[in-house]
């Protein structure tokens, strides 16, 4: 089975938006299933709906607005980011082609269960899409609401499983394409303010614990990508070292540059799959 896994990373998702738009343009949909986290799920929704530039528009037009990101609101005790607004406004401004989205490739999204601190994986359907998109992107501390549905309450899926490549393997994928939000050289450092995080999350201690373990889990996923089991091929699409988009970058020129990098890296990946660079299924174990 073939799977695509897309990392989140808030505004860093502009890179994946470019990669997936290039895939749409080339009618490249070879995957048996997809798994996303946070912004990665939103990107995959646009990709599987075959709506080119939808994700780009959501990030550059909606996620940069004061209605979504408002530091003054946060200082007054509100949310720094209003995820529920972004989900509903995205559908209002750029309605999804649901017939296309739910016609072929199953989509799974990771959300962190606040009771266990572990990732739950939801199959995204027409009935739950709004709730899942909110839950998978519900950043602890920055988003004051706690989305609850299907018997659980959730925080951002990236807390427990930022790159669900191991989950893709557990679900039977033997060929996994991973779209990252950081250059390949990146490794997540251990948090230097874990005591503060635990204090801020005292109402949800298992989320605080998961935040402490996040770097270990993230780097464990990177290790799987770099050293996959013998029966698995992992292909990685990652931003170049010059990628300068941060989690909360709001500058249009920087976002546009990141999107262009995604388009270029997506094209490189497609070229490698076609053998343009002399690579084939047999000799390409770790294609960039």
Structurally, the chain folds into a number of domains equal to 1
Q: Domain for residue 104, yes or no? A: yes
Which one from 156, 161, 162, 221 is the annotated catalytic residue? 156
Is residue 12 within 8 Å of residue 182, measured between CB atoms? yes
Spatial distance between the Cα atoms of 164 and 287, rounded to a whole number of angstroms: 19
Q: What is the CATH number of the domain that holds 227?
A: 3.40.1090
User: Please, what's the b/e burial string for 237-271 (b: 16 or more CB within 10 A of its CB; e: otherwise)?
Assistant: bbbeeebebeeebeeeebbeebbebbbebbbbbbe
Q: Domain for residue 217, yes or no? A: yes
Q: Domain for residue 100, yes or no? A: yes
Query: CB neighbours of 149 closer than 8 A, spacing ≥ 6?
Result: 128, 131, 135
How many residues in the chain?
288
* 156 belongs to the catalytic site: yes
Q: Where are the alpha helices (DSSP H) in 156-233?
A: 165-170, 194-200, 205-226
Domain hosting residue 189, numbered range: 2-283
Q: Domain for residue 263, yes or no? A: yes
DSSP 173: -
- 43 — phi, psi (to 5°)? -65, -40
Structure tokens at 160: 């427990």
* 93 belongs to the catalytic site: no
Spatial distance between the Cα atoms of 236 and 5, rounded to a whole number of angstroms: 10
* Structure confidence by residue, pLDDT tens digits, 246-278: 999 999 999 999 999 999 999 999 998 877 655
DSSP 38: T
Residue 264's pLDDT is: 96
Residues β-bridged to residue 237: 179
Which residues of the chain, if any, have pLDDT below 70?
191-202, 204, 276-288
Q: Domain for residue 276, yes or no? A: yes
- 102 — phi, psi (to 5°)? -105, 20
Which one from 21, 38, 161, 272 is the annotated catalytic residue? 38
Residue 283's pLDDT is: 44
Structure tokens at 26: 């080339």
Q: Domain for residue 55, yes or no? A: yes
């Amino acid at each position: 089975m073939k799977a695509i896994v897309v990392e989140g990373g808030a505004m860093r998702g502009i890179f994946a938006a470019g990669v997936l738009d290039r895939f749409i343009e080339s009618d490249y949909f070879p995957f048996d299933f997809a798994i996303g986290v946070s912004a990665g799920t939103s990107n995959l929704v646009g990709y599987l709906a075959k709506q080119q530039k939808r994700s780009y528009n959501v990030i550059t037009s909606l996620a940069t607005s004061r209605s979504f990101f408002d530091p003054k609101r946060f200082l007054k005790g509100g949310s720094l980011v209003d995820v529920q607004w972004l989900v509903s406004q995205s559908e209002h401004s750029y309605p999804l082609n649901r017939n296309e989205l739910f016609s072929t490739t199953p989509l799974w999204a990771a959300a962190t269960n606040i009771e266990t601190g572990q990732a739950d994986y939801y199959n995204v359907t027409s009935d739950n899409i709004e709730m899942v998109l909110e839950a998978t992107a519900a950043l602890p501390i920055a988003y004051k609401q706690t989305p609850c549905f299907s018997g659980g309450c959730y925080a951002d899926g990236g807390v427990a499983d930022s790159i669900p490549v191991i989950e893709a393997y557990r679900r039977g994928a033997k060929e996994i394409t991973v779209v990252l939000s950081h250059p390949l050289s990146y490794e997540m450092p251990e948090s230097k303010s874990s005591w503060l995080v635990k204090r801020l999350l005292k109402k949800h201690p298992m989320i605080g614990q998961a935040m402490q373990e996040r770097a270990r889990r993230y780097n464990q996923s990177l290790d799987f990508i770099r050293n996959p089991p013998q029966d698995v091929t992992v292909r990685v699409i990652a931003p170049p070292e010059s990628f300068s988009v941060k989690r909360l970058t709001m500058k249009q020129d920087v976002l546009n540059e990141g999107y262009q990098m995604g388009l270029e890296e997506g094209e490189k990946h497609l070229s490698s799959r076609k053998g343009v660079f002399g690579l084939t299924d047999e000799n390409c174990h770790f294609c960039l």
